[in-house]
Structure 1
Amino acid sequence: MNRRSFSKHALALPFLPGSASLNPTTPKRILPKRLRPGDTVGFVTPGSYISDESLEQAVSNMLKLGLRVKMGKNIRAKHGFVAGTDQQRLDDLHTMFSDRSVDAVWCARGGYGCTRLLPKIDYDLIRRNPKILIGYSDITALLNAIYHKTGLVTFHGPVGASEFSTYTEAQVRAVLMDGTAPYPIPLSEDNEASEDSLFQPEVIRKGQAEGVLMGGNLSLLAAMAGTGYLPDPTGAIVFMEDVGEAPYRVDRMLTQLRQAWPLKAANGIALGVFADCAKKEGSDSLTLSETLQEQLRPTDTPTAYGLPFGHIDHQCTFPVGVRARFDAAARSITLLEAGVR
């Protein structure tokens, strides 16, 4: 799973409950059914191969939520570092969406490989069979492409094999099962108490904004820019995180994203915890904080670092495609609409 986000725009995008997407290039929004105890989730591995130990952990997490599990036919397949050939991984994704006994599609792990699937996905099939799709890291590619091509709200949250801390589990239940709105996503006490410098919050530019949530892993967003599979961020609240990237790599990806995607037109930029992205001792690099300041402060957009998401144990769940309110100074995101029906 280890991978190498009220401004001047807010008034232009009024909140219209239940309306079609405010992005004219994205189809009318579709809400998936909420999860209930006893429902069945289908496990898929659209990216990297999952070990037996991690798969056992993923099943245990689902049972803890009161859910049943159905394995993708090719869940044990392996093709180099990815979980089977592109066709095998694609077949499992399509099968889980079309299988009427499956109530949600949960990615068992991330890794690498999802962007390879984007041109071959049957988006019409997914539109006809809307279900919860959840994951993070490399799954960012599927979350944004499927929302953009079908209008289906997807979910940036823990993969099946994640560490389901008390906080993580509570946020999964609140967003996927309870589905109440408005819902202020709380900060994690454990994250706030961390002495790791990368967990220290920072307000890059104060302000409040409203917009549709979209985003995920920075590496994937940069890789998708210009491909036609990434939604337009104009008027959106863009959330971003990454892991294991030196600050100069973060700088390079943000440069790519700003040049190939109208990030400046976003209403707000919410940054998670960039785990293991600190400047190495003895390096001439800028620090992560200096890099983010230099890249994002000129956007003149409310921006804050240190929200509870990323490659961390205590992470929240964001619906991609619903409206939210962002307060940079408070590092708060409030879901104004439920992501499920």
Structure 2
Amino acid sequence: MTTPLCPPKPAPGDRIAVISPSAGLPGLFPRPHELGLERLRTVYGLEPVEYPTTRTMGATPQQRADDIHAAFADPDVKAVMATIGGDDQITVLPHLDRELIRSNPKPFFGMSDNTNLLAFLYATGIVGFHGATVMAALGRPGALHPQTEESLRAALFTPGPFELRPAERWRDVDGDWADPATFAAEPETRPGTGWGWVNADRVLEGRSWGGCLEILAMLLMADREVSHDLSVYDGGVLLLETSEEMPSDTEVFRTLRSMGERGLLQRFPAVLVGRPKTWSFERPLSPEEGARYAAGQREAVLRALRAYAPDTMVVFDVDFGHTDPQLVLPYGGTVRVDGPSRRITVTY
């Protein structure tokens, strides 16, 4: 693969595209969406631009692809951000014009189902950003989490290294977006627990790839945006996190086992594992139940790595993905994992 292209960064006052490549949930829950737009304007000084399907539930894959194309092709738009995830963005990928996007590279921010578009950009040779959707991160009740605010600001505007820090306080319990009371106060948070390190005896630096584990499984099954030449991932840093669907430890292990059988898992000498979400409206686990769920997921990851890549350095409970705060990680960019000093530095 050629040297990845880091798109030019926006500046305060620039226009940022706000698109819904997955679900048009702003149409159902306008409150967190409007709050996120307001913060793009007032906190970051950017002017959000919406597209025909941004607030449209049930938009066709072609319609969503059209919005992606319009956002990347517009010379007055300097960055692109997803509103939220979903579960069918994989159906949009066949409609994308790779050459159009390659010719108009821009920073793209998204996570969850947007792993599809991030993997597409990686395969196209463009560095993206995992994290910071409009509704989930920017639409946070009360105020932005300060670590989310700091990380996103650096990713948007400041090229160069940025050191990640373990969350001082975090949460994974959500309020009901349909209830105005959800937005009347800061959400309740818990004290941070730090990162967990395994095989932390060296310093590694490489290009990041991965994302939401459930979406990676879909891409692998559909044989999309995963290179058949696995050497392109050699020496990289694998990003893994799970969604609010809270897959079982068995499912996590089986997905990673399949990645190992494909010869993919062992390409990455370092893995960053996002703090797992341990609560959802469908499974409102107590803190004690959530801790057991998280421990089971951790053991599933370790079990797969022991079988296929036992020397891999692993960092657990990094605050990216579906919990809060939501640190922004470059996708296809450089991540430095310093085991002896217990430090993670990304290059924005």
Shorter-chain TM range is 0.7 to 0.9
Q: Once the two structures are aligned, what percentage of the paired residues are identical?
A: 27
* Alpha-carbon contact 2:61-2:95 (below 8 Å) kept: no
2:156 maps to a residue whose letter is: L
The alignment partner of 2:102 has SS state of helix
Post-superposition offset of 1:147 = 1.7
Q: 1:182 corresponds to which residue?
A: 161
Q: 1:57 aligns with which of 29, 32, 35?
A: 35
- State how far apart, in whole Å, the 2-side matches of 1:306 and 1:294 are: 17
Q: 1:297 corresponds to which residue?
A: 306
* Alpha-carbon contact 2:24-2:53 (below 8 Å) kept: no
Post-superposition offset of 1:183 = 2.6
Post-superposition offset of 1:204 = 3.0
Counterpart check, 1:218 vs 2:213: yes
Higher relative contact order (CA 8 A, sep 6+): 1
- State how far apart, in whole Å, the 2-side matches of 1:284 and 1:275 are: 9
2:97 maps to a residue whose letter is: D
Q: 1:158 aligns with which of 114, 132, 136?
A: 132
Deviations along 1:220-246, whole A, 9 cap, x unmatched?
A: 122222614025422101111113222
The alignment partner of 2:150 has SS state of helix
Structure 2: any 5+ residue segments left out of the alignment? 172-188, 280-284
Counterpart check, 1:229 vs 2:225: yes
2:206 maps to a residue whose letter is: G
- State how far apart, in whole Å, the 1-side matches of 2:239 and 2:145 are: 22
* Alpha-carbon contact 1:303-1:328 (below 8 Å) kept: no
TM-score (norm 1): 0.81
- State how far apart, in whole Å, the 2-side matches of 1:173 and 1:284 are: 33
The alignment partner of 2:149 has SS state of helix
1:252 maps to a residue whose letter is: R
- Segment of structure 1 superposing worse, 59-68 or 127-136: 59-68
Counterpart check, 1:104 vs 2:79: yes
Deviations along 1:158-185, whole A, 9 cap, x unmatched?
A: 1011233111010011122112x23322
Aligned positions of 1:238-253 closer than 5 A: 238-243=238-243, 244-253=246-255
Paired positions, count = 303
Counterpart check, 1:288 vs 2:282: no
RMSD across aligned C-alpha pairs, in angstroms?
Answer: 2.6
* Alpha-carbon contact 2:210-2:216 (below 8 Å) kept: yes
2:30 maps to a residue whose letter is: D
Q: 2:103 aligns with which of 124, 128, 150?
A: 128
Counterpart check, 1:205 vs 2:199: yes
Post-superposition offset of 1:205 = 2.6
Q: 1:266 aligns with which of 265, 268, 275?
A: 268
- State how far apart, in whole Å, the 1-side matches of 2:101 and 2:218 are: 23
Post-superposition offset of 1:328 = 4.1
2:157 maps to a residue whose letter is: M
Q: 1:58 to 1:236 in 2, by over 3 A?
A: same
- Segment of structure 1 superposing worse, 129-138 or 113-122: 113-122
Q: 1:32 corresponds to which residue?
A: 7
Q: 2:147 corresponds to which residue?
A: 167
Deviations along 1:265-290, whole A, 9 cap, x unmatched?
A: 21211111011188969x99982232
- State how far apart, in whole Å, the 1-side matches of 2:315 and 2:200 are: 8
The alignment partner of 1:310 has SS state of coil
Deviations along 1:249-276, whole A, 9 cap, x unmatched?
A: 2122222222235111212111110111
Q: 1:329 to 1:255 in 2, by over 3 A?
A: farther
* Alpha-carbon contact 1:305-1:331 (below 8 Å) kept: no
Q: 1:55 to 1:256 in 2, by over 3 A?
A: same
Deviations along 1:26-63, whole A, 9 cap, x unmatched?
A: x4421211121111111110111212223212212212
Aligned positions of 1:303-318 closer than 5 A: 303-318=314-329
2:151 maps to a residue whose letter is: Q
* Alpha-carbon contact 1:248-1:286 (below 8 Å) kept: no
- State how far apart, in whole Å, the 1-side matches of 2:342 and 2:305 are: 16
The alignment partner of 2:206 has SS state of strand
* Alpha-carbon contact 2:198-2:315 (below 8 Å) kept: yes
- Segment of structure 1 superposing worse, 326-335 or 67-76: 326-335
1:77 maps to a residue whose letter is: T
TM-score (norm 2): 0.80
Q: 1:75 to 1:175 in 2, by over 3 A?
A: closer
2:238 maps to a residue whose letter is: V
